[in-house]
Structure 1
């Protein structure tokens, strides 16, 4: 699954070695929604017309070659609760989903927060994590991997992971009350703006590495919802009136 600048999704390179795996992060192109949700808004809980979102989702999954009916997702609450998925459908209150059931896609919606996709190639387990700053501070990515290990026997060396497109460090300004919750490694103080800047990508990648996943098996998106806003939705830059991307991963029956 290769993409162009105007494509409807980005396919992480790290997963392309696995022919039985479907993994993608949507972009904002190729849908039917009008401004400010233009155009591939996949967010159910936005002020966009519901029929537009339904059509956008149909188009997105059609491009991926899978049915939307295979999707398992949740209304996200910026918490650290993980759902063990056994069937498709929409839940509430989970910010990470994992499954070992083929033909089920797990997915999270984002518009500045960090999506993280994980694949255990030996045990056949996939995970999707929605990590905003709260989820990052609560170590949700690490907790998801611990859950995969406890439930399915996932080992670090068998895992491949993608840290997706989110707000980048040069734009993620936070106050001291948020910055103090991050280690110094992932933040810096800007003397001009008098604000701290936090690097969510590196903070989440570190949790993957702390679990023991080799750095060579981790891919970090080079894109930013702020810098590349022509391609990705940004809640902060667009002041809340914008669409949502969807990051999904799932196994096909071999």
Structure 2
């Protein structure tokens, strides 16, 4: 039995901001067959494009978002950040930022960490894709810095959500990857002879280092691997699986 039934999770850290829409999708409520069952919203999978489009339509409809107001990027596990001024599909960015209303930023994940940020004072948002490469490249810290430069964001005014991703007990890596992480975010497993990496904690640390307080950071309690019935996991499903979306944006005040 799945722990979740909805097509999305709304992070509690944002619940007091009525004009903000922020969520991450689950794998429930779509039409895709195995192995993409069922709400595969990934544009670059072997699933049928018709299925993916219907799944995306359902997900955005559940959130009350107009699909024509979506911005996304083909992610490359880098640290490039795009200031988004219009909806559309972009290329080569792993973080999107904007302060325009009714413009909804998305990142695609299936083990990597999605991070959503809302600057309540300047009315600005960010959606970040951070796998191990993005995390070690400090894309979260760079995104907060970009928001400061572009929008005058002060970290004290920000709330952030570190979303569902692979958990530390499932993410084993070799020395070449482990060497790029601080000791506090890795643990050596003698049985596997591998290091285990905590991506959530590493990205939380970057948020805190920028000046966002712990009390304004929410962390998903779920794991793509341990909760594979509810979320897609690229690693545990050997790459043949769907994708989730994390989305954030705010509606204009009438």
Deviation (angstroms), 1:201: 0.0
Aligned position for 1:190? 189
Secondary structure of the residue aligned to 1:28 is coil
Q: What are the equivalent positions in structure 2 for 1:209-220 lying under 5 Å apart?
A: 209-220=208-219
Shift of 1:186: 0.3
C-alpha separation between the residues in 2 aligned to 1:5 and 1:74?
Answer: 28
- Secondary structure of 1:239's match? coil
Deviations 1:213-234 (A, max 9, x none): 0100000100000000000000
**Do structure 1's residue 153 and structure 2's residue 152 form an aligned pair?**
yes
> What is the TM-score normalised by the length of structure 2?
0.98
Unaligned runs of 5+ in 2: none
Aligned to 2:76: 77
User: 5 Å matches for 1:135-154?
Assistant: 135-154=134-153
Shift of 1:85: 0.2
**CA distance in 2 between partners of 1:194 and 1:214 (Å):** 35
Aligned residues: 251
1:167 correspondence with 2:191:
no
Corresponding residue SS for 2:125? strand
Equivalent in the alignment of 1:249: 248
Deviations 1:31-53 (A, max 9, x none): 00000000000000000000000
Shift of residue 176, structure 1, vs aligned partner: 0.6
C-alpha RMSD over aligned residues: 0.6
For 1:116, the equivalent position in structure 2 comes to 115
Which residue number in structure 1 is paired with residue 17 of structure 2?
A: 18
Using the TM superposition, give the Cα deviation of residue 63 of structure 1 relative to its aligned residue in structure 2, in angstroms: 0.2
Aligned partner of residue 23 in structure 1, secondary structure:
strand
- 2:41 counterpart SS class: coil
How far the C-alpha of 1:69 sits from its partner, in A, is: 1.1
For structure 1, the residue ranges without an aligned partner over 5 or more in a row are none
Q: Which SS does the other structure have where 1:54 is aligned?
A: helix
Shift of 1:91: 0.2
Secondary structure at 1:106 match in 2 = strand
Report the counterpart of residue 32 of structure 1 in structure 2: 31
Q: Secondary structure at the match of 2:133?
A: helix
Distance in 1 (CA, whole Å) between partners of 2:67 and 2:8 is 15
Q: Show structure 1 runs of 4+ deviating over 6 A.
A: none
SS in 2 for 1:135: helix
Task: Show the counterpart of 1:44.
Answer: 43
Cα-to-partner distance string for 1:50-71 (whole Å, 9 max, x where unaligned): 0000000000000001111111
